[in-house]
Structure 1
Amino acid sequence: MSGEPRPGLHSERTRLAWVRTAVTMAGAGIGAAGISVRQDLVALAVPFAAAALAGAVLLLRTGTRHRRLERALRQRRPLDDRLDTGVAWAGALAVAAAALVMVLTLAL
């Protein structure tokens, strides 16, 4: 066992939660963009593609974020995750707005 204290498994659970969020956002964005193109709602493919891109960015940043989290926990200081949180919110809002417009458009 290493000499450094382990803060626990919560950082691993947090990392896995971010991975699930990123993969879901990327997959849902790609799928919804495809559906919107097939339904001749090409303009809606843009926000869905933006959500897919946000998910891909979050997935790429997972390793860096995990290392920063581990370091912050060992040093007992807060982690500044505003960038990742902003990317996740932007992707989620893009999906929500585009899905609402898609549902309203297809319902009429």
Structure 2
Amino acid sequence: MSPGLHSERTRLAWVRLGTVLAAAALGAAGVGLRHRAGAGVTVLFALAALSGALLLLRTGVRFRRVERALRDGRPLDDTLDARVAWLGVLLLVAGALSLVLTLAP
């Protein structure tokens, strides 16, 4: 295996995470809108989709920072991206729970 490919795999993992987060949130928001679940549910899903989009937008910047940190032999601080991902997943779960509770008879 070539050195440096781990940063490429990590970049692709962030792309997958952002894409799945945004797509799942948008799909769930569509379900919520079709079933008239309420604005709160839609807002949770919209914020989750926004966090996925933000992760996708930051992919290029993050990749260049990782490459630079590896080249310079210094540690990389990914706390902002990890927190955005955590928040997006938390919003998606909260929206899903709210949607289920809203639609339950």
Which bin holds the TM-score, normalised by the shorter protein? Answer: over 0.9
In the comparison of the two structures, how many residue pairs are matched?
A: 103
Structure 2 partner of 1:60: 57
Tell me which stretches of 4 or more aligned residues in structure 1 moved more than 2 Å: none
Conserved? CA contact 2:37–2:103, under 8 Å: no
Q: Distance in 1 between matches of 2:68 and 2:38?
A: 44
Q: Distance in 2 between matches of 1:12 and 1:42?
A: 40
Q: Distance in 1 between matches of 2:95 and 2:37?
A: 10
**Partner residue of 1:74 out of 71, 76, 87:** 71
TM-aligned CA deviation for residue 82 of structure 1: 1.0
Question: What percentage of residue pairs aligned between the two structures are identical?
Answer: 62
Q: Deviations over 1:43-91 (max 9, x none)?
A: 2010100011101111010000000001111111111111111111111
Task: List runs of 5+ in structure 1 lacking aligned partners.
Answer: 1-5
Does residue 2 of structure 2 align to residue 10 of structure 1?
Answer: no
Report the TM-score when normalising by structure 2. Answer: 0.92
Structure with the greater relative contact order (CA < 8 A, sep ≥ 6): 1 or 2?
Answer: 2
Q: Distance in 1 between matches of 2:36 and 2:9?
A: 40
Task: List runs of 5+ in structure 2 lacking aligned partners.
Answer: none
Please give the residue correspondences for 1:1-108 in structure 2 after superposition, counting only pairs within 5 Å.
7-43=3-39, 44-108=41-105
Superposed CA RMSD in Å reads 1.2
